[in-house]
Amino acid sequence: MGRREKPIDPGAGPVQSFAFALRKLRGEAGTPTYRAMAEGAGYSAAALARAAAGETLPSLALTRSYVRACGGDPGEWERRWRAARDEEAARPRPVDEGPTGSPDAPYRGLARFEPDDHPLFFGRTRLTDSLTALTRAHRCVMLLGPSGSGKSSLLRAGLIPRLRDAEGPAPRPAAIRILTPGPRPAHDHRELFTPAEGPGETWLLVDQFEETFTLCHDAARRREFIDRLLSAEEPGSGLRVVLGMRADFYARCLEHEGLAALLGRASLPVGPMTSDELREVVVKPAAAQGLIVERALTARLVEETRNAPGGLPLLSHTLLETWRRRQGRTLTLRGYEAAGGVHGAVARTAEDLYAGLAPAEAETARHILLRLITPGDGAPDTRRPIDRTELATTRRANPGPDDVLQRLTRARLVTLDGDTVDLAHEALITSWPRLRCWIEDNRERLRRHRRLTAASHNWHERGRDSGALLRGTELGEAEDAFGTPGERDELTAREREFLDCSTRSRRLRTRRGRQLTATLAVLLVLALAATVVAVQRTATADAQRDLAFSREQAARADQLRADRPEAAMVRALRGYRRAPTTEARSSLLSAHARFYAEQFTGHSDSVQSAVFSPDGRTLATASFDHSVKLWDTRSHHLLATLNGHADAVNAVAFSPDGRTLATASNDRGVKLWDARSHRLLATMTGHTNMVEAVVFSPDGRTLASAGGDRTVRLWDVRTHRARAVLTGHGDAVFRLAFSPEGRSLASADTARTTRLWDVASRRTRAVLAGRTGAVTTVAFSPDGRTLATGDRNHHVKLWDVRSRRPRATLTGPTDTVQAVAFSPDGDTLAAASVDGSVRLWDPRSGKALAELTVKRPLYSVVFSPDSKTLVTAGQDPAVRLWDVASHRRTGALPERSGPLTWRVPFAHPRALLTVDQQARTVRWSTAAPRGAPAPIRFPGTVVDSLVSGDGRVLATADRDRTVRVWNLATGKRIITFRKSVWTLRQLSITPDGRTLAAGGKDGTIRVLDTATRRTTAVLRSDRPVTALSLRADGRSVAFAGGGGDGTVRLWDVRSARADKPLPGRPDYTLALSFSPGGRTVAVGGNDGTIRVWDVAGRRVASTLTGHTGPVVGVEFSPDGATLATTSVDRSLRLWRAGRAYATLTGPAVADAATVRFSPDGRALAVIGSRGAARAWSIDADYVAARVCRLGAAHHWARLLPDQPVDDACPS
C-alpha cells in the first residue's frame, strides 16, 4: 500500500481546491492506486499523484487523463479546470515588498526610475541621445513634457548614467545634484549652487520645476531662485542646469524673461513613444529577468498606450501588477485583465488597499492623501511633497499615520524619501476616481488650507512678526474653513497657533477700537458691579475660599499621584470635604483608582513572598494570614485563594512549566498545588521546624526546601517523596537558589555562611564565608557566574561562583537586607531591606542605579519575566508594582503574549464573567447568578467580548473579524457573523438577553430573537454600520454609518422604517448608546464631542465637550443620571445634567476601550484594549469614607503632617 497523501486545505486557494476535488473523485471511484490509473492514462503514476498534490495546477491534458482513469466526465472537468486557472491567474502573487515592490520586479510601477535602475530603463535611447547633446551645447536646458511622459525617469535613469559614463574630450561632471524646488527653493537649496571642487563642472538637475509656481507663493523668492538657476549660463559659473517641467506650465515660464528666452533657445519636448519603443518598455525588462511576455499581451499594451504621452506610469504600474499575476515565467493577457488593464490597474490597487483599511485607518489615509495635493487654480491639480512631521502634528492623525503611511508606501501609492512624503505619481490623481471625488469635494477648503500653510510658514520665518498675521477676508475665510474643533484637527500645531494668534490679534484691534466709546459705559458697569459685589462679598467670601482651597488641594494631589498615591488621596480628600468641586472629585477618584491599580490588595497581614509564573500572567503571594493568593497581573483580579496551611506562609514558588505551585509554612509543611485548577496535590512533611524557603530545580523534577531545622531537603516532584536531606548548616536556613543549569544549589543561613551544594552527589562544593552578618537571602545571576547574598549587616555581596571569592560589596541599605533578585536579562540587581527601600544596581559594574522607597519594612522583591516590572512585598498587606526603566510606581504590567483571559463586567451585581481563551471556559468570579455556564469551545482567537445584563447571552469577536453569539446556559452558538460585523461596536443586546441587533459593513442591520435564533426584522442602509445601540425594550435601533457620513438614524423595529438622519453636522461616529428609558441617545464623535439627542423632539438636548480625541465609548448608568465616556485621549469622563461631573485620568483608565456600569450605578468596569477589566467606584462619598478607613488603618496622617486627616474624617 502506498504512502498516505498529505492533507490539503481546500480553502487555501483555487489550486488546492481543484486538487481536493480530484482526490474526492478518486475516492468515489474506490481509491484506485496511481499505478493502476497509469496503465491506461498515458501518464506515469508520479505525474498523476502530482496532479492531486495541490502544489501547482496540472495541465489540461493531465487533468483529462486523471478524470478518465476515475470514470469522471472530461467535459465537466475541463470547465472546472478553466475556472480554477482563471481564478488562480487573478490572484496577486505575494512579494517581499520594499518601497517599490520585490527586488526581482522588472518594472517600477508608479515610482520613477532611479540611476541604479538604468539596466531596466528601455525605450528612451533616442530621447536620451538628444538630451545629452543639448546639454553639451547649452549650459541651461529645459525638458518639457506632459505629466506621465517619463521626465523624472529620463533625468535619473537616462541622463545621469550617460553623464557618468561619458567618454571623449568632455570631462565627466565634478558632481551631479538633483533637487525639487519645494516652497522655499532659494533658501532650502542654496548650498547646492556652490560648484564642487575638482575637474569638471557641477550639474544641477531640477526635477518637477513646476513646483516653483505651485508651492512657492512668494514672487520675490521665486524670481531669486530662477535667477540663480539661469546664472549657470555664465561660462565661469562652474554649473550646468537641466530643468524638467510639466508642459502645462509653459505659460507661467513666459512671465520671466530669462525662462522665456531659455524655452526658445534650449528646450526639448518629450513626446509619445513610438510602437517599437513601447515594445521595448514591455518586453526588455522582463527579458532581463529571464521572463517572457505573451505576444498578445505586448500587442494589447502597445495598442492601448500608443499616442498617449502621459500614459507611461499607468503602463508601468499595469506591467508590475501583471508581473505579480504571472503564470510561471510568463506574463499573460489573462493576468493583465485580472489586474484591471492600463486604465484600471491603478484604481484597482488603490481601491484594494482602501477596502482593507479599518474605518479610522481609511479616514487617516484620506487625510494623508489630501495633504499631498495642491489644487489647481486655472491649472491641473499637482502633487505636494511634505515633511513627515506635518502628518504627525495634526490631531486628525488617529490612528497614528505611520502604519497607514507604510501601507500606502507598500502599495506604491506614495513614496517616502527620508522625511519627505509624496505621491508616487500625479497619475494617481487622474486615475483613481475616489481621490478625484475627495479633491472636488474639498477643493475650496484645500485652497484655503494651502494659503494658510504658506502664510504660517512666512510668519514663522519672520520671527512671528505680528505684521505677517492674517487679517480681513483672509482671516475670515480661514476661520470659516477651520472653525470647529473637528476641522481644526486637520491643521498642524504651527498652523493652529498661527490661526489662533491671528484671531487674538483681531480681537485686540477690535477691543482697542471700541475702548474710547465704551469707557463711560464700562465705568458705570464697574460702579454697579462694585456695589453688588460689596453687598454679596460677606456672604460668599467663605464659599469662594472653600472653592479655591478645594481646587488647590486637587491640583497638588494630581502632582503627587504618580509617586505618592496615598498622599494624593489625603490631599484630594481634604479638598473634596471642604467643597465637592469637579476638580476635587476627579482628583479623589483618580488617586483612589491609581492606588489600587499600582498594587495587589487582599491579604490581611504582611506578605512574605511574591513570585511570577513563568509566562508572567499570574502573580502568587504568600502571607502571614496563612494564605496564598493568585492574581491576574494585567487586571489585578484575584484568581484564587489557596487555604490549607495552619500558620504563616513564608515562601511560594512556581515550577518552570507554570503548572505547579509550591508553598512553605511555619506549620512545618510543604504543599504542592495545581496552578490552574488550584487543587491541592500533596503535602510533604519531614521538617521539624518552620519551613522558610522552597524552590524548584530548572528541570522541574526536584523541589528543595529549607528552614529552622538547619536542613535542606530535596523532594521528587512526581512522587512527592524525599530524595535527600542535606545537613551541615549551623543555624536556620532562610533562602535557597538553584543555579541556572541546575547542577548547584545555594543555601544561606543565619550563621553567616552560604553553602554551595552539588545536587547530583548531595555534597558541599564550597562554603562562602567572610566578614558578614547572618545571611538572609541568596540569588544566582542568569548566567550562573555570580552569586548575590544579603545579610543583617546591611550589605549585599557579589561572589564569583567559580573562584568562590567575593567580587564586590554593595552598600546603601540601613537595615537587614531581606531579599535580592537579578532581573532575567541580567542588567539589574535589586535588594529589598527592612529599612523600607529597594536599591537597584548594575551587577556588572556595581554602580547604583536607583532607590525605590516604600517606608515600610520589605521582605520580598521579584522581577517580571520580561525584566520590565518589579514587585515588592513586606510588612503591610499591599503588593506594589514598579516600572524598572523609570523607577516609578506603575499601574500595570507590560503587555504579554499568548492566550488572554477576557472579563465581561457586571452581568450580575456582584459577579464578573471570565472568558478564558486558553482553557476554553466561561465562569463567574463569584456565586453564579444563573448557574455555571456551559463549556464553550472557541474556534478562533477571542479579542473582545460582551455579555447581556442578565447573563444569558455572550458575544465574542475573533481576530479574523468573526463575531459569534453564544447561549451561556447551553454553550451553543446562536449566530455567527463572518466579516460582516467588524467589531462589537456593531452589536447590541437588550438587558434581558432576548433580543440582539447586529449591523454589518454591507449596511444591513438584523434583529434576532436569541431564544428562537430567528431574524425578526431586517433594515438595509446604504452605508456600513460603524456603531449601533438597541433600546432596552428592543423596539428601536440607533445606528451610524461610515464612509465619511457619520449621521445617526433611528429605526423603528416593528414598522421596519428608518427615520431621517438626526439633524446636525455629520461626523464619524464611533460610539452611541440609548439611555435606559430610551428617551435620549448619546453619540460620541470623531471630533471629541458627545451630543445627547432628545429622540422625540429630534434635537440636541446637550453638547458635551472636553475630550481632546475621538470618543470611543459611551454608556449610561442604569438610572440614566450619569453618562460615562472614554476617548483615545486616555481619559474617562463622567457627566451629569449636561455638565462635567468628574474626569478620571492615569494608568487605571489610560487603556480604557469601553466602560460598563454596575447595576446600582455606583461603580464602573474599565475594560482595556487587551480585554482586562477593572472595577472602580465612582461614588465620591463612598470613596472618601474608604480613604478615611484606609488612612486610619495605615496611619496615613504621618504622610502629610502639615495636612491632618482628622478634619476631613469626622468620627
Amino acid (1-letter code) at residue 456: S
Task: Please provide the DSSP assignment of 861-884 as one string.
Answer: EEE-TTSSEEEEEESSS-EEEEET
Task: Please provide the DSSP assignment of 708-760 as one string.
Answer: TTS-EEEEETTT--EEEEE---SS-EEEEEE-TTSSEEEEEETTSEEEEEETT
In total, the chain counts a number of residues equal to 1211
What pLDDT does 96 receive?
38
**Does 1046 share its domain with 1148?**
yes
Q: Is the pTM of this model over 0.75?
A: no
Rounded CA-CA distance 754/780 in Å is 12
What pLDDT does 994 receive?
87
Inside any domain, residue 674: no
What pLDDT does 896 receive?
34
Inside any domain, residue 573: no
Q: Is 974 in contact with 953 (CB distance < 8 Å)?
A: yes
Q: Which helix (H) or strand (E) holds 443?
A: helix 443-461
Domain with 991 in it: what CATH number? 2.130.10.10
**Does 1003 share its domain with 1058?**
yes
Neighbour count for residue 552 (Cβ, 10 Å): 15
Inside any domain, residue 729: no
What pLDDT does 1149 receive?
64
What pLDDT does 1194 receive?
62
**Does 380 share its domain with 316?**
no
Inside any domain, residue 693: no
Q: Is 148 in contact with 312 (CB distance < 8 Å)?
A: yes
Secondary structure of the chain: what % helix, strand, coil (to 5)? 35, 30, 40
- Decide the pairing of beta strands 837-841 and 414-417: unpaired
Q: Is 702 in contact with 715 (CB distance < 8 Å)?
A: yes
Hey, is 995 helix, strand or coil?
A: strand
**Does 334 share its domain with 389?**
no
Q: Is 768 in contact with 778 (CB distance < 8 Å)?
A: no
Rounded CA-CA distance 1151/1132 in Å is 10
Q: Is 979 in contact with 356 (CB distance < 8 Å)?
A: no
10-residue stretch averages of pLDDT, the chain, 1211 residues long: 72 87 91 87 84 86 90 90 78 45 73 90 94 94 90 93 80 89 89 88 94 88 94 92 92 91 93 91 93 92 79 87 88 88 81 82 88 82 84 63 83 79 83 85 85 85 84 82 76 85 84 69 70 64 85 87 80 90 89 74 85 94 92 79 92 96 96 93 94 96 95 96 93 94 94 91 88 84 95 92 92 92 96 94 93 88 94 87 83 39 43 56 49 70 73 78 81 78 75 85 84 85 84 90 72 79 71 91 89 90 90 89 89 88 73 73 72 71 84 64 66 60
**Does 1006 share its domain with 1148?**
yes
* Residues forming a β-bridge with 976: 964
- Count of domains forming the chain: 6
**Does 281 share its domain with 255?**
no
Non-local (6+) Cβ contacts of 942 within 8 A are: 900, 902, 915, 917, 956, 957, 958, 1171
**Does 1143 share its domain with 1074?**
yes
Burial code (b: 16+ CB inside 10 Å, e: under 16) for 954-988 equals bbbbbeebbbbbbbbeeeeebbebeebbbbbbbbb
Task: Please provide the DSSP assignment of 481-543 as one string.
Answer: HT-SHHHHTTS-HHHHHHHHHHHHHHHHHHHHHHHHHHHHHHHHHHHHHHHHHHHHHHHHHHH
Inside any domain, residue 752: no
CA dist 206 → 135, 193, 210, 312, 651 (Å): 13, 12, 10, 21, 74
Choosing from 272, 298, 319, the residue where a domain stops is 272
Rounded CA-CA distance 698/713 in Å is 16
Inside any domain, residue 490: no
What pLDDT does 1109 receive?
87
**Does 1028 share its domain with 1136?**
yes
Inside any domain, residue 69: yes
**Grid cell of 170 as nine digits:** 568632455
Inside any domain, residue 586: no
**Does 988 share its domain with 910?**
no
Phi-psi label, residue 1195: left if phi above 0, alpha if psi -120 to 50, beta otherwise: left
Domain with 289 in it: what CATH number? 1.10.8
Domain with 213 in it: what CATH number? 3.40.50.300
Choosing from 979, 995, 1030, the residue where a domain stops is 979
Four-residue CA torsion sign, 486, 491, 494, 496: negative
**Does 128 share its domain with 267?**
yes
What pLDDT does 902 receive?
39
Choosing from 416, 441, 466, the residue where a domain stops is 441
Cα 494 off chain centre by: 26
**Does 281 share its domain with 186?**
no
Measured between its terminal Cα atoms, the distance across the chain in Å is 89
Q: Is 963 in contact with 981 (CB distance < 8 Å)?
A: yes
What pLDDT does 542 receive?
76
Q: Is 220 in contact with 184 (CB distance < 8 Å)?
A: no
**Does 1112 share its domain with 1168?**
yes
Q: Which domain holds residue 1106?
A: 980-1180
